[in-house]
Structure 1
């Protein structure tokens, strides 16, 4: 009888320790800490975009997230004062985002020319993405 109680107590301790480790793992995966180099979305939406020739391209209008990862920036191109503009999705790898600490401003630079962006596949806010 004594052996059964000792075995039961040992089993309970092992199961309890395993459960505690699982709970701890879940807690650390739930919360993260923002690093000083991280960028918040409000710094990006409506940010003017230029190309390498310092020509104004448009603005970042939205972010595309896929399975929790940033997969694209929706950028307005063409048009004047919002008339005739269209949207294209640009890969995050093609956009250089920089914080200018002294001006407290952000910049976004892409390498494609205006013509290349105008020729890119158009993204439309319709169906699932209708605003």
Structure 2
């Protein structure tokens, strides 16, 4: 039997996707970042990472809380991952987040609100 036409043009496509991957020692886990203080180059605490924004599988931003005391009066801003340097200090066994900004600059940034599809 000979198959002609469109049926003959069909071929079985095999797609290979990785199901399991490994973490490299240089990778960062999200729990290391959430609630991590953000400091500036003068070692002043200017905010705290509260959440991560993922877009199409890539880190698109950090949601940083600014101002407030004990959760009262705080507001959230989105900071580009390129603006924050995340490092692990081996001697101190701790993570750090440093950005070149002041607390006032973060307070003046556009506010992000947990509402709509992001409501908690």
TM-score normalised by L of structure 2: 0.85
SS at match of 2:104: helix
Largest Rg, 1 or 2: 1
> Contact 2:62/2:78 (CA < 8 Å) preserved in 1?
yes
Alignment of 1:39-118 (within 5 A): 39-118=28-107
Separation (CA, whole Å) in 2 of partners of 1:83 and 1:58? 14
More helix by share: 1
Q: Which has the higher contact order (CA 8 A, sep 6+)?
A: 2
SS at match of 2:107: helix
Displacement after TM superposition at 1:30 (Å):
2.5
Which structure 2 segments of 5+ residues have no match? Answer: 2-10
Listed one character per residue, the Cα deviations across residues 93-112 of structure 1 (whole Å, up to 9, x for unaligned) are 00010101122110101111
Which structure 1 segments of 5+ residues have no match? Answer: 5-14
Q: Does 1:119 align with 2:108?
A: yes
Corresponding residue pairs, total: 111
After TM superposition, the runs of 4+ consecutive aligned structure 1 residues lying more than 6 A away are none
Match of 2:4 in 1: none
RMSD: 1.6
Displacement after TM superposition at 1:32 (Å):
2.0
